[in-house]
Every structure is written in C-alpha cells, then in structure tokens.
Amino acid sequence: MQIIVDSGSTKSNWVLLDGQNHLNTQQLEGFNPTSNPESLKQASSWPFQDHDISRITFYSSGINNTAVQKEVSSLLASIYNTSHVECLSDIYAAYRCLNKTDSTLVSILGTGVNTVCFEHNKIADRITSLGYIIGSEGSGFNIGRMIVKNYLRNNMQPTDSKAFEDMFKVNKTNLVNVIYKQAKPNFYIGQFTKFLNNSSEALKTEILNKNFHAYFKNQIVPLCTKYNYPLNVIGSVAKHYEDHLRKIGENYNINIERIIKDPLEGLIEFHKNKVD
C-alpha cells in the first residue's frame, strides 16, 4: 500500500492506495514545516499508521530546501516504517495532477502563491517564493489583507463596512489587535477573502483587479517573457475568481490553459499509473 499526501498551509489530504484501488481519503489540517514547524507535531495523529505501508509521497507547502526534506522524510519513515519516502514541494503536486509530459508553467494560487517552470518533469526556473510577509501577490492572503486595509482606512462604502462587520463580528477598534494576536495571522486574514461574495460589485472588482494585476506582473510575466509554454493555475482562489483572473491575463496577452481548484483527483490518477 502507498500513501499520497497533498498539503497546503490550510488543509491536507491523505490518500491510501492499494495498487489501482483507492481505499480511503482523510482530510486534516495543513502543514508548512518552514513557516509553521509546529504543524509537524501533529505526527502522532497522522492516519493509516495501522496499515502496512510500502511507499509514501508527501507534497507540502514549505518544502523548499534539502534540510526540510530530510527532516520530514525521516519523520515519515520512522512513523510508517518504510524507507521509500518522497518528500516534495506542493508545486510538484500541482504539476503532476496535470498528467503532462511537455513543458509548462505551473502556478499555485490559493492561500499562498508559488510559480515555476517545468521542463522534462523537473523545475527549470521559478519565481522566488517570499511568503506572505514579504510577497504573496495574487494569493487569498493578499486579497484578505487588501480588504482589511480598505476597511480600516475607511476606503469602503458604508454599506460594505457594515456588511464586513456583520459577517466577521469585528469593528475598527479591535480588529488590529485581534489580527496581531493570531497564532496564524495569514490564515486569519485569508478568511476575509470570502467577504467579496457579499460585498458590492465595485469593491470586489477593484480589489480583484489590483490583486491579479500584481499577480501577473510579479508572478507570471517574468517567466512568460522567457518561456513560450502554456500556463496552468491550480488553487481555490484561481478557480473561484476564474473569470476575473482570465480577463486580467488577457491584458498581458496571457491565456491560461487550465484552472483546477484541487489537484487531488489528478494526483491520484498520476500515482495509480505509477504503481510499480
């Protein structure tokens, strides 16, 4: 049996495969061993520990250097008693879910953002991922941050401000303190993205346009000017705001080949076809 783990910072999916048979899927909190090393302390509750596991493939945000790979691989190997552990960045899950063999640009656009160029099944080039503190253009966190700034600086219409307060039970007196007391401020701020479902169309369009223009300028155009490859985007933010994203892309003469909300289904098929 083999385990496939696809984890972002928000949630993780654990899949149990036996040959071509998909036996089970469980969803847990997400992991990020770089920005949230405490998340690895959940290891005792990881599923399928009572099964005979021969192979594990672990895709996660925050797998960005050899030291982190070794740390997570060793932890998985000890828990599941197997030496066949592959530990990779979640960008590989985004790429492999496409089941492509040709070169492509792949971008994750969810709570966070990550963009790379794949050639011959390997990363050939990338936009340096700076995390939410320094640079996360296009991400759900960035949308949430823009909403909060507009609210706190009185750049919303009164009806939007009232709707925001009613939806999240906050006010301008306490919101900043609440944000800075959060153990995971990026997740807390990212949740505000869903306010655009209730906001005025004018505010929604303004924020999405600014966010996605910054996304293309910083995350996509630098690679598109170097490589004439199709662009595929994976993530909940990309899928939820697909029409806006494609429209902004047209301003840069960039057509997105596929937008996929969740890589899990394609990833399962990839690993079924890779059974030894």
Find the mean pLDDT for residues 163-186: 91
pLDDT value, residue 129:
75
Alpha-helix residue ranges (DSSP H) falling in the chain: 66-80, 90-96, 131-134, 140-152, 158-168, 175-180, 185-190, 201-215, 221-224, 236-240, 242-251, 264-273
Residue 81 pLDDT greater than 70, yes or no: yes
The highest-confidence range among 37-41, 111-115, 129-133, by mean pLDDT, is 111-115
pLDDT value, residue 175:
93
pLDDT value, residue 276:
53
Sequence ranges of the domains in the chain: 2-96, 101-262
Output the pTM of the full model: 0.87
pLDDT value, residue 275:
52
With 0-12 CB in 10 A as exposed, 13-18 as middle and 19+ as buried, what is 141?
Answer: buried
Find the mean pLDDT for residues 113-117: 93
Which long-range CB contacts under 8 A does 78-84 form with residues at least 24 apart?
79/43, 79/46, 79/49, 80/3, 80/48, 80/49, 80/53, 80/56, 81/53, 82/53, 82/54, 82/55, 82/56, 84/54, 84/55, 84/56
CA distance 33 to 48: 21
Structure tokens at 31: 């992991």
User: Identical fold at 2-96 and 101-262?
Assistant: yes
pLDDT value, residue 3:
96
Confidence of residue 45 (pLDDT cuts 50, 70, 90): confident
Find the mean pLDDT for residues 204-225: 96
Stretch (H or E) spanning 58: strand 55-60
> pLDDT tens digits for 125-173?
998 777 666 768 899 999 999 999 999 999 999 999 999 999 999 999 9
Name the residue with higher pLDDT: 268 or 43.
Answer: 268
Identify which of 7, 5, 29 has the alpha carbon closest to the alpha carbon of residue 16: 5
Identify which of 216, 197, 195 has the alpha carbon closest to the alpha carbon of residue 149: 195
Identify which of 41, 15, 17, 55 has the alpha carbon closest to the alpha carbon of residue 262: 15
DSSP state of 53: -
What is the percent of the chain with per-residue pLDDT over 90, rounded to a whole number?
71
Out of 31-35, 78-82, 206-210, pick the least confident. Answer: 31-35
CATH for 2-96 (3.40.50.150, 1.10.357.10, 3.30.420.40, 3.40.1160.10):
3.30.420.40
Homologous superfamily (CATH) of 101-262 is ATPase, nucleotide binding domain (3.30.420.40)
Confidence of residue 10 (pLDDT cuts 50, 70, 90): confident
pLDDT value, residue 61:
81
Find the mean pLDDT for residues 42-67: 89
Are 116 and 127 a contacting pair, CB within 8 Å? Answer: yes
DSSP state of 35: T
Residue 37 pLDDT greater than 90, yes or no: no
Find the mean pLDDT for residues 81-90: 92
Which long-range CB contacts under 8 A does 204-207 form with residues at least 24 apart?
205/244, 207/143, 207/146, 207/147, 207/150
> pLDDT tens digits for 233-262?
999 999 999 999 999 999 999 999 999 999
